[in-house]
Amino acid sequence: MPPDVLTPERILEATEDVLRRFGPAKATVVDVARALGVSHGSVYRHFPSKVALREAVTGRWLERAHGELAGIASAAGPAPERLAAWLGALFAAKRRKALGDPELFATYRSLFGEHSAVVRSHLADLCGQLRVIIEDGAARGEFAADGPAADPATAAQAVFDATVRFHDPVHAAHWSAAGIEEAHDAVVALVLRGLSAR
Amino acid sequence: MPPDVLTPERILEATEDVLRRFGPAKATVVDVARALGVSHGSVYRHFPSKVALREAVTGRWLERAHGELAGIASAAGPAPERLAAWLGALFAAKRRKALGDPELFATYRSLFGEHSAVVRSHLADLCGQLRVIIEDGAARGEFAADGPAADPATAAQAVFDATVRFHDPVHAAHWSAAGIEEAHDAVVALVLRGLSAR
Protein backbone atom coordinates (compact mmCIF):
# COMPACT_ATOMS: atom_id res chain seq x y z
CA MET A 1 0.00 0.00 0.00
CA PRO A 2 1.64 3.29 -1.04
CA PRO A 3 1.96 5.90 1.76
CA ASP A 4 -0.37 8.31 -0.02
CA VAL A 5 -3.24 5.88 -0.63
CA LEU A 6 -6.55 7.73 -0.74
CA THR A 7 -8.37 6.80 2.48
CA PRO A 8 -11.68 8.26 3.72
CA GLU A 9 -9.72 9.82 6.61
CA ARG A 10 -7.35 11.64 4.22
CA ILE A 11 -10.31 12.92 2.21
CA LEU A 12 -12.02 14.18 5.39
CA GLU A 13 -8.86 15.95 6.54
CA ALA A 14 -8.50 17.65 3.16
CA THR A 15 -12.22 18.57 3.22
CA GLU A 16 -11.79 20.25 6.60
CA ASP A 17 -8.82 22.25 5.23
CA VAL A 18 -10.82 23.28 2.16
CA LEU A 19 -13.85 24.27 4.25
CA ARG A 20 -11.65 26.37 6.50
CA ARG A 21 -9.97 28.09 3.53
CA PHE A 22 -12.94 28.67 1.24
CA GLY A 23 -15.94 28.56 3.59
CA PRO A 24 -18.91 26.21 3.23
CA ALA A 25 -20.64 28.24 0.50
CA LYS A 26 -17.71 27.98 -1.95
CA ALA A 27 -15.97 24.70 -1.08
CA THR A 28 -16.53 22.02 -3.72
CA VAL A 29 -15.58 18.39 -4.21
CA VAL A 30 -13.28 19.55 -7.03
CA ASP A 31 -11.38 21.74 -4.51
CA VAL A 32 -10.96 18.73 -2.23
CA ALA A 33 -9.74 16.56 -5.09
CA ARG A 34 -7.30 19.27 -6.20
CA ALA A 35 -5.91 19.61 -2.64
CA LEU A 36 -5.27 15.83 -2.65
CA GLY A 37 -3.87 15.76 -6.19
CA VAL A 38 -6.50 13.24 -7.33
CA SER A 39 -9.50 13.31 -9.67
CA HIS A 40 -12.90 14.22 -8.25
CA GLY A 41 -14.02 10.76 -9.37
CA SER A 42 -11.60 9.27 -6.82
CA VAL A 43 -13.27 11.30 -4.06
CA TYR A 44 -16.74 10.27 -5.24
CA ARG A 45 -15.70 6.59 -4.97
CA HIS A 46 -15.51 7.10 -1.18
CA PHE A 47 -18.29 9.68 -0.75
CA PRO A 48 -21.05 9.43 -3.36
CA SER A 49 -22.09 13.10 -3.15
CA LYS A 50 -21.09 16.50 -1.79
CA VAL A 51 -23.81 16.10 0.84
CA ALA A 52 -22.42 12.72 1.94
CA LEU A 53 -18.95 14.25 2.25
CA ARG A 54 -20.25 17.18 4.31
CA GLU A 55 -22.21 14.86 6.59
CA ALA A 56 -19.12 12.71 7.13
CA VAL A 57 -16.85 15.66 7.92
CA THR A 58 -19.46 17.12 10.28
CA GLY A 59 -19.85 13.79 12.06
CA ARG A 60 -16.08 13.46 12.45
CA TRP A 61 -15.84 16.97 13.90
CA LEU A 62 -18.68 16.38 16.37
CA GLU A 63 -17.14 13.08 17.47
CA ARG A 64 -13.77 14.74 18.05
CA ALA A 65 -15.33 17.65 19.94
CA HIS A 66 -17.68 15.64 22.13
CA GLY A 67 -16.17 12.17 22.41
CA GLU A 68 -15.36 12.65 26.10
CA LEU A 69 -19.01 13.20 27.06
CA ALA A 70 -20.05 9.56 26.60
CA GLY A 71 -17.39 8.57 29.12
CA ILE A 72 -18.73 11.00 31.72
CA ALA A 73 -22.30 9.79 31.18
CA SER A 74 -21.41 6.13 31.71
CA ALA A 75 -18.89 6.63 34.56
CA ALA A 76 -19.50 5.43 38.11
CA GLY A 77 -20.28 7.90 40.89
CA PRO A 78 -23.13 10.14 42.01
CA ALA A 79 -25.46 11.23 39.19
CA PRO A 80 -25.69 14.90 40.27
CA GLU A 81 -21.90 15.24 40.04
CA ARG A 82 -21.83 13.44 36.69
CA LEU A 83 -24.61 15.68 35.35
CA ALA A 84 -22.74 18.82 36.42
CA ALA A 85 -19.48 17.46 34.95
CA TRP A 86 -21.20 16.52 31.68
CA LEU A 87 -22.82 19.95 31.26
CA GLY A 88 -19.55 21.65 32.17
CA ALA A 89 -17.61 19.53 29.65
CA LEU A 90 -20.15 20.27 26.91
CA PHE A 91 -19.91 24.03 27.51
CA ALA A 92 -16.10 23.90 27.72
CA ALA A 93 -15.82 21.95 24.45
CA LYS A 94 -18.18 24.35 22.67
CA ARG A 95 -16.31 27.41 23.92
CA ARG A 96 -12.96 25.89 22.98
CA LYS A 97 -14.19 25.31 19.43
CA ALA A 98 -15.94 28.66 19.07
CA LEU A 99 -13.18 30.83 20.52
CA GLY A 100 -10.13 28.76 19.53
CA ASP A 101 -10.89 28.12 15.85
CA PRO A 102 -13.60 30.63 14.89
CA GLU A 103 -13.34 30.07 11.09
CA LEU A 104 -13.88 26.35 11.36
CA PHE A 105 -16.60 26.84 13.99
CA ALA A 106 -18.45 29.25 11.67
CA THR A 107 -18.16 26.66 8.92
CA TYR A 108 -19.68 23.94 11.08
CA ARG A 109 -22.40 26.30 12.30
CA SER A 110 -23.38 26.77 8.71
CA LEU A 111 -23.34 23.00 8.08
CA PHE A 112 -25.50 22.52 11.20
CA GLY A 113 -27.93 25.02 9.72
CA GLU A 114 -28.54 22.54 6.90
CA HIS A 115 -30.31 20.38 9.55
CA SER A 116 -28.47 17.31 8.46
CA ALA A 117 -29.21 13.79 9.59
CA VAL A 118 -25.81 13.60 11.27
CA VAL A 119 -26.55 16.67 13.43
CA ARG A 120 -29.98 15.33 14.38
CA SER A 121 -28.41 12.02 15.30
CA HIS A 122 -25.71 13.81 17.34
CA LEU A 123 -28.29 15.82 19.32
CA ALA A 124 -30.33 12.66 19.97
CA ASP A 125 -27.14 10.96 21.16
CA LEU A 126 -26.40 13.80 23.62
CA CYS A 127 -29.96 13.66 25.01
CA GLY A 128 -29.57 9.88 25.31
CA GLN A 129 -26.47 10.41 27.46
CA LEU A 130 -28.35 12.85 29.70
CA ARG A 131 -31.13 10.30 29.99
CA VAL A 132 -28.68 7.63 31.20
CA ILE A 133 -27.41 9.95 33.95
CA ILE A 134 -30.96 10.88 35.00
CA GLU A 135 -32.13 7.25 35.08
CA ASP A 136 -29.09 6.34 37.19
CA GLY A 137 -29.80 9.21 39.58
CA ALA A 138 -33.44 8.14 39.96
CA ALA A 139 -32.40 4.50 40.55
CA ARG A 140 -29.85 5.60 43.17
CA GLY A 141 -32.37 7.85 44.94
CA GLU A 142 -30.36 10.99 44.17
CA PHE A 143 -33.03 12.38 41.86
CA ALA A 144 -36.63 12.42 43.08
CA ALA A 145 -38.73 9.56 41.73
CA ASP A 146 -41.82 11.79 41.99
CA GLY A 147 -40.17 14.77 40.25
CA PRO A 148 -39.13 15.46 36.66
CA ALA A 149 -36.76 12.44 36.77
CA ALA A 150 -39.86 10.18 36.82
CA ASP A 151 -39.89 10.65 33.02
CA PRO A 152 -36.18 10.49 32.13
CA ALA A 153 -36.58 11.12 28.39
CA THR A 154 -38.61 14.31 28.97
CA ALA A 155 -36.28 15.39 31.79
CA ALA A 156 -33.22 14.84 29.57
CA GLN A 157 -34.74 17.05 26.86
CA ALA A 158 -35.67 19.67 29.49
CA VAL A 159 -32.10 19.76 30.84
CA PHE A 160 -30.73 20.05 27.29
CA ASP A 161 -33.23 22.83 26.49
CA ALA A 162 -32.59 24.69 29.77
CA THR A 163 -28.85 24.84 29.00
CA VAL A 164 -29.25 25.74 25.29
CA ARG A 165 -27.65 29.16 25.82
CA PHE A 166 -24.42 27.34 26.67
CA HIS A 167 -24.24 24.80 23.87
CA ASP A 168 -26.24 25.97 20.84
CA PRO A 169 -23.89 27.69 18.36
CA VAL A 170 -26.49 30.45 17.79
CA HIS A 171 -25.43 31.79 21.21
CA ALA A 172 -21.68 31.57 20.57
CA ALA A 173 -21.25 35.35 20.41
CA HIS A 174 -21.98 35.50 24.17
CA TRP A 175 -19.56 32.75 25.23
CA SER A 176 -16.68 35.13 25.85
CA ALA A 177 -18.81 37.69 27.74
CA ALA A 178 -17.93 38.61 31.32
CA GLY A 179 -19.92 36.51 33.81
CA ILE A 180 -20.82 33.75 31.34
CA GLU A 181 -19.33 30.99 33.54
CA GLU A 182 -21.23 32.23 36.58
CA ALA A 183 -24.41 32.34 34.48
CA HIS A 184 -23.77 28.75 33.37
CA ASP A 185 -23.15 27.59 36.94
CA ALA A 186 -26.37 29.27 38.13
CA VAL A 187 -28.45 27.46 35.49
CA VAL A 188 -26.77 24.12 36.28
CA ALA A 189 -27.44 24.62 40.02
CA LEU A 190 -31.10 25.44 39.30
CA VAL A 191 -31.50 22.37 37.07
CA LEU A 192 -29.78 20.04 39.57
CA ARG A 193 -32.01 21.26 42.38
CA GLY A 194 -35.01 20.78 40.08
CA LEU A 195 -34.14 17.09 39.71
CA SER A 196 -32.83 16.34 43.18
CA ALA A 197 -34.44 14.22 45.89
CA ARG A 198 -35.55 16.22 48.91
CA MET B 1 -54.46 71.50 15.87
CA PRO B 2 -55.10 70.04 12.38
CA PRO B 3 -56.08 66.35 12.28
CA ASP B 4 -52.91 65.39 10.47
CA VAL B 5 -50.49 67.11 12.82
CA LEU B 6 -47.14 65.31 12.81
CA THR B 7 -46.91 63.55 16.20
CA PRO B 8 -44.18 61.13 17.31
CA GLU B 9 -46.84 58.39 17.34
CA ARG B 10 -47.75 59.01 13.67
CA ILE B 11 -44.06 58.93 12.72
CA LEU B 12 -43.58 55.64 14.58
CA GLU B 13 -46.61 54.10 12.87
CA ALA B 14 -45.31 55.16 9.46
CA THR B 15 -41.84 53.84 10.35
CA GLU B 16 -43.29 50.45 11.22
CA ASP B 17 -45.10 50.36 7.85
CA VAL B 18 -41.93 51.33 6.00
CA LEU B 19 -39.84 48.74 7.87
CA ARG B 20 -42.40 46.07 7.04
CA ARG B 21 -42.46 47.03 3.34
CA PHE B 22 -38.78 47.66 2.67
CA GLY B 23 -37.01 45.69 5.41
CA PRO B 24 -34.57 47.17 7.93
CA ALA B 25 -31.60 47.23 5.54
CA LYS B 26 -33.33 49.48 3.01
CA ALA B 27 -35.77 51.60 5.05
CA THR B 28 -34.62 55.22 5.37
CA VAL B 29 -35.88 58.36 7.08
CA VAL B 30 -36.66 59.74 3.61
CA ASP B 31 -39.01 56.77 3.01
CA VAL B 32 -40.78 57.53 6.30
CA ALA B 33 -41.11 61.22 5.44
CA ARG B 34 -42.44 60.35 1.97
CA ALA B 35 -45.05 57.98 3.45
CA LEU B 36 -46.21 60.83 5.69
CA GLY B 37 -46.10 63.48 2.94
CA VAL B 38 -43.67 65.64 4.93
CA SER B 39 -40.02 66.65 4.57
CA HIS B 40 -37.36 64.51 6.24
CA GLY B 41 -36.48 67.61 8.26
CA SER B 42 -39.92 67.37 9.90
CA VAL B 43 -39.16 63.80 10.98
CA TYR B 44 -35.72 64.78 12.29
CA ARG B 45 -37.37 67.47 14.49
CA HIS B 46 -38.94 64.61 16.50
CA PHE B 47 -36.20 61.99 16.14
CA PRO B 48 -32.70 63.45 15.73
CA SER B 49 -31.26 60.45 13.84
CA LYS B 50 -32.16 57.24 12.05
CA VAL B 51 -30.80 55.34 15.07
CA ALA B 52 -33.03 57.32 17.45
CA LEU B 53 -36.05 56.55 15.27
CA ARG B 54 -35.22 52.83 15.16
CA GLU B 55 -34.72 52.73 18.91
CA ALA B 56 -38.08 54.43 19.47
CA VAL B 57 -39.97 52.12 17.12
CA THR B 58 -38.31 49.06 18.70
CA GLY B 59 -39.20 50.27 22.19
CA ARG B 60 -42.82 50.84 21.16
CA TRP B 61 -43.05 47.35 19.66
CA LEU B 62 -41.53 45.70 22.75
CA GLU B 63 -43.88 47.63 25.02
CA ARG B 64 -46.90 46.58 22.95
CA ALA B 65 -45.76 42.93 22.84
CA HIS B 66 -44.85 42.57 26.51
CA GLY B 67 -46.86 45.16 28.41
CA GLU B 68 -48.98 42.49 30.11
CA LEU B 69 -45.95 40.88 31.80
CA ALA B 70 -45.41 43.65 34.33
CA GLY B 71 -48.99 43.14 35.55
CA ILE B 72 -48.41 39.43 36.10
CA ALA B 73 -45.15 40.10 37.97
CA SER B 74 -46.76 42.56 40.39
CA ALA B 75 -50.08 40.72 40.90
CA ALA B 76 -51.11 39.15 44.19
CA GLY B 77 -51.11 35.36 44.62
CA PRO B 78 -48.61 32.53 44.97
CA ALA B 79 -45.22 33.24 43.38
CA PRO B 80 -44.86 29.80 41.70
CA GLU B 81 -48.14 30.32 39.82
CA ARG B 82 -47.16 33.86 38.88
CA LEU B 83 -43.77 32.67 37.64
CA ALA B 84 -45.38 29.96 35.48
CA ALA B 85 -47.96 32.44 34.17
CA TRP B 86 -45.27 35.04 33.40
CA LEU B 87 -43.08 32.55 31.49
CA GLY B 88 -46.14 31.22 29.65
CA ALA B 89 -47.24 34.75 28.69
CA LEU B 90 -43.75 35.63 27.46
CA PHE B 91 -43.58 32.52 25.25
CA ALA B 92 -47.15 33.07 23.97
CA ALA B 93 -46.42 36.72 23.08
CA LYS B 94 -43.20 35.78 21.28
CA ARG B 95 -44.89 33.01 19.31
CA ARG B 96 -47.80 35.28 18.39
CA LYS B 97 -45.39 37.86 17.00
CA ALA B 98 -43.11 35.37 15.25
CA LEU B 99 -45.84 33.27 13.64
CA GLY B 100 -48.53 35.94 13.18
CA ASP B 101 -46.48 38.71 11.56
CA PRO B 102 -43.25 37.09 10.36
CA GLU B 103 -42.08 40.04 8.20
CA LEU B 104 -42.28 42.51 11.07
CA PHE B 105 -40.79 39.96 13.47
CA ALA B 106 -37.82 39.44 11.14
CA THR B 107 -37.41 43.20 11.01
CA TYR B 108 -37.33 43.52 14.76
CA ARG B 109 -34.99 40.55 15.05
CA SER B 110 -32.58 42.42 12.85
CA LEU B 111 -32.97 45.59 14.94
CA PHE B 112 -32.32 43.53 18.11
CA GLY B 113 -29.13 42.28 16.47
CA GLU B 114 -27.87 45.87 16.55
CA HIS B 115 -27.66 45.43 20.37
CA SER B 116 -29.40 48.69 20.97
CA ALA B 117 -29.75 50.39 24.32
CA VAL B 118 -33.52 49.96 24.17
CA VAL B 119 -33.22 46.17 23.80
CA ARG B 120 -30.69 45.96 26.64
CA SER B 121 -33.00 48.01 28.81
CA HIS B 122 -35.96 45.80 27.85
CA LEU B 123 -34.09 42.61 28.80
CA ALA B 124 -33.00 44.15 32.12
CA ASP B 125 -36.63 45.11 32.74
CA LEU B 126 -37.82 41.54 32.13
CA CYS B 127 -35.16 40.14 34.50
CA GLY B 128 -36.23 42.75 37.05
CA GLN B 129 -39.82 41.45 36.86
CA LEU B 130 -38.60 37.87 37.38
CA ARG B 131 -36.61 39.10 40.36
CA VAL B 132 -39.73 40.64 41.95
CA ILE B 133 -41.60 37.33 41.64
CA ILE B 134 -38.64 35.37 43.09
CA GLU B 135 -38.21 37.80 46.01
CA ASP B 136 -41.93 37.55 46.77
CA GLY B 137 -41.77 33.76 46.66
CA ALA B 138 -38.80 33.71 49.04
CA ALA B 139 -40.55 36.12 51.43
CA ARG B 140 -43.71 33.99 51.36
CA GLY B 141 -41.77 30.77 52.00
CA GLU B 142 -42.80 29.32 48.62
CA PHE B 143 -39.24 29.41 47.28
CA ALA B 144 -36.46 27.98 49.46
CA ALA B 145 -34.49 30.63 51.33
CA ASP B 146 -31.43 28.35 51.21
CA GLY B 147 -31.76 27.58 47.50
CA PRO B 148 -31.18 29.62 44.34
CA ALA B 149 -33.84 32.15 45.48
CA ALA B 150 -31.42 33.26 48.23
CA ASP B 151 -29.81 35.42 45.51
CA PRO B 152 -32.85 36.73 43.60
CA ALA B 153 -30.91 38.68 40.94
CA THR B 154 -28.79 35.65 40.00
CA ALA B 155 -31.84 33.38 40.16
CA ALA B 156 -33.82 35.73 37.90
CA GLN B 157 -31.03 35.66 35.31
CA ALA B 158 -30.81 31.85 35.61
CA VAL B 159 -34.57 31.48 35.00
CA PHE B 160 -34.35 33.84 32.02
CA ASP B 161 -31.32 31.94 30.65
CA ALA B 162 -32.90 28.51 31.24
CA THR B 163 -35.96 29.52 29.18
CA VAL B 164 -34.00 31.24 26.39
CA ARG B 165 -35.10 28.65 23.82
CA PHE B 166 -38.65 29.93 24.30
CA HIS B 167 -38.10 33.68 24.13
CA ASP B 168 -34.93 34.50 22.21
CA PRO B 169 -35.80 35.26 18.56
CA VAL B 170 -32.77 33.21 17.40
CA HIS B 171 -34.86 30.14 18.27
CA ALA B 172 -38.05 31.33 16.53
CA ALA B 173 -37.78 28.72 13.75
CA HIS B 174 -38.59 26.02 16.33
CA TRP B 175 -41.63 27.72 17.87
CA SER B 176 -44.09 26.03 15.56
CA ALA B 177 -42.51 22.57 15.90
CA ALA B 178 -44.56 19.66 17.21
CA GLY B 179 -44.10 19.23 20.97
CA ILE B 180 -42.74 22.73 21.59
CA GLU B 181 -45.39 23.53 24.23
CA GLU B 182 -44.67 20.29 26.09
CA ALA B 183 -40.94 21.10 25.92
CA HIS B 184 -41.67 24.56 27.36
CA ASP B 185 -43.81 23.13 30.15
CA ALA B 186 -41.10 20.61 31.07
CA VAL B 187 -38.47 23.35 31.41
CA VAL B 188 -40.83 25.53 33.48
CA ALA B 189 -41.61 22.58 35.79
CA LEU B 190 -37.88 21.87 36.22
CA VAL B 191 -37.15 25.53 37.00
CA LEU B 192 -40.05 25.86 39.45
CA ARG B 193 -38.95 22.74 41.31
CA GLY B 194 -35.40 24.14 41.36
CA LEU B 195 -36.64 27.22 43.23
CA SER B 196 -39.32 25.68 45.42
CA ALA B 197 -39.28 25.16 49.17
CA ARG B 198 -39.08 21.52 50.18
Q: What would the pLDDT profile of A110-169 be if each residue is shown by its tens digit? A: 777 665 788 888 999 999 999 999 999 999 999 998 999 999 999 999 999 999 999 998
- Check CB contact under 8 Å for B194 and A198: no
Residues of B in contact with A189 (CB under 8 A): 148, 158, 194
Q: For B8-46, CATH number?
A: 1.10.10.60
Chain B hits for A198, CB-CB cut-off 8 Å, are 198
CB atoms within 10 A of CB A193: 20
Digit-coded pLDDT (tens) for B116-129: 788 888 899 999 99
The three-state secondary structure class of B121 is helix
- Show residues of chain B in contact with A145, CB under 8 Å: none
Percent of chain A beyond pLDDT 70? 96
CATH topology of domain A61-195: Tetracycline Repressor; domain 2 (1.10.357)
Task: Report domain extents, chain B.
Answer: 8-46, 65-195
ipTM above 0.85, yes or no: yes
Comparing alpha-carbon positions, the chain A residue that sits nearest to B167 is A165
Q: pLDDT (tens digit, 9 = 90+) per residue, B45-86?
A: 999 988 889 889 888 888 887 889 999 999 999 999 999 999
CA angle B163, A192, B127 (to 5 degrees): 35
- Give the sign of the dihedral formed by CA B63, CA B67, CA B69, CA B75: positive
Q: Which residue of A has its CA nearest to B197?
A: A198
Determine the 3-state secondary structure of B176 from DSSP. coil
In order of A122, A128, A131, B28, B111, the CA distances from A82 in angstroms are 20, 14, 12, 54, 40
Q: How far apart are CA B31 and CA B142, in angstroms?
A: 53
Per the CB < 8 A criterion, the answer to whether B87 and B158 are in contact is no
- Count, in order, helices (H) and strands (E) of chain A: 9, 0
Count CB neighbours of B61 within 10 A.
Answer: 21
| pLDDT at res. B114 | 66
- Band (A1; pLDDT cuts 50, 70, 90): very low
Distance CA B119, CA B122 (A): 5
Q: What is the pLDDT of residue A115?
A: 59
Element counts in chain B: helices (H) and strands (E) = 9, 0
Instruction: State CA A59 to chain mean position distance.
Output: 9
